[in-house]
Amino acid sequence: MTGFNLALNDDQIAVRDWLHGFARDVIRPAAAEWDEREETPWPIIQEAAKVGIYSLDFFAQQQFDPTGLGIPIAMEELFWGDAGIGLAICGSALAAAGVVTNGTPEQVGTWAPEMFGTPDDPKLAAFCSSEPDAGSDVAAMRTRAVYDEATDEWVLNGTKTWATNGGIAHIHVVVASVDPELGARGQASFIIPPGTPGLSQGQKFKKHGIRASHTAEVVLDNVRVPNSCLLGGKEKLDERMAKARERAAAVARGEKVEQVKNAAMATFEASRPAVGAQAVGLARAAYEESLEYAKTRVQFGRPIIDNQGIAFTLADMRTRIDAARLLVWRASWMAATAQPFTAAEGSMSKLYAGETAKWVTAQAIQIFGGNGFTREYPVERMHRDAAIYTIFEGTSEIQRLVIARTLSGMPIR
């Protein structure tokens, strides 16, 4: 009988060290430049593609790690390098997760490789869910998908916002409402192939942090896609819609019924521990910078780490980072071994890791003092980058709501 063990195996250590080297030698030296430019770091993505990091095969291999730790290990190391460039490299994986989670095997085989392109010609993908009036309130989504039986096509109209790689992506995965009366349960996901007429980029956002990652609106104006681009297929959608309507009728009668999976939420459930791992990598980077600075910065004739106020803060930083990593690893292991999140463990991992990244980077600036407030030192950028981890893919408030509902079984609002 194998005892409890948190040690990484040889393959995981090899991947971790390989990624750490790439983050140290390629990502970090370019981080400040691309943050200032606020542009997609194509040369870094191309370099990642050439060495095999930016590829479907790489992300699939990590996803299929039977321990569940492949993806969080990869995310932590890449985002230790830089969060903005890390998201530019990993942003396509969210769209791929949407296809893998909701699509048929044929759709996965057709579209997932298209999202990454080739080492010589890398491509990007975008997952488009949020809207100007539907962020945390997924049920308020207004983008519509209407089936045209005469042509066997779906017609999509609406505006998406906060889309990573939106408008510049080769492949867009769009969540749209098929039956608005069913709210979040009346939605489905669609593949928008490259060059499809009617899809265009709206405004590109100038952001507080993660500025090397492209974020923009996506406008859909009578976008027509074949029925084969409906993820999961129409038969499965019709069956799911029928169950959702039965559920709505049962709820109206006061009956207790089983929940119906939502396309966007299924994607976010799969990605939350990975996002938590990104936050862990960012927090670890800020902690390591702070530790080294505290050892070498001399005030009043001695290194500032000799002061308990600094030393205790560093102790708390490291403790929170390790706790966040363990929550991420637990959720990832549970997902890989098909154990249900009975206490919303995925949301717990993202919540705590995101809050940790924000707190740790704030403490880093405090340790650096006035230097930490300048762009001459990386902790300023790290603090800006960390702010997003309590906002995107479910705010901290939404994570707490999910956890509270799961624990209580009550419809808390």
Domain boundary assignment for the chain: 10-115, 125-252, 263-408
Residue 248: the pLDDT is 82
Distance from C-alpha of 124 to C-alpha of 54, rounded to nearest angstrom = 10
Pairing of strands 125-128, 171-177: parallel
Query: Angle at Cα 259 formed by Cα 257 and Cα 265, nearest 5°?
Result: 165
DSSP 192-233: E-TT-TTEEEEEEP--SS-TTS-EEEEEEEEEEEEGGGBTT-
Architecture of the 10-115 domain: Orthogonal Bundle (1.10)
Residue 267: the pLDDT is 58
The answer to whether 393 is a known catalytic residue is yes
Distance from C-alpha of 62 to C-alpha of 182, rounded to nearest angstrom = 36
Q: Are 115 and 94 a contacting pair, CB within 8 Å?
A: no
Fold of 125-252: Butyryl-CoA Dehydrogenase, subunit A; domain 2 (2.40.110)
Q: With a cut of 50, list the residues of the chain below it in pLDDT.
A: 1
| Fold agreement (125-252, 263-408) | no
Within 10 angstroms of residue 302's Cβ, the number of other Cβ atoms is: 9
Distance from C-alpha of 163 to C-alpha of 215, rounded to nearest angstrom = 5
Q: Are 331 and 349 a contacting pair, CB within 8 Å?
A: yes
Residue 4: the pLDDT is 83
The active-site residue, picked from 153, 217, 269, 393, is: 393
Residue 251: the pLDDT is 75
Residue 22: the pLDDT is 98
CA distances from 92 to 55, 97, 101, 107, 168 (A): 10, 9, 14, 16, 11
Fold of 263-408: Butyryl-CoA Dehydrogenase, subunit A; domain 3 (1.20.140)
pTM of the model: 0.94
Residue 271: the pLDDT is 82
- Tell me the residue length of the chain: 413
Residue 314: the pLDDT is 98
Distance from C-alpha of 353 to C-alpha of 326, rounded to nearest angstrom = 10
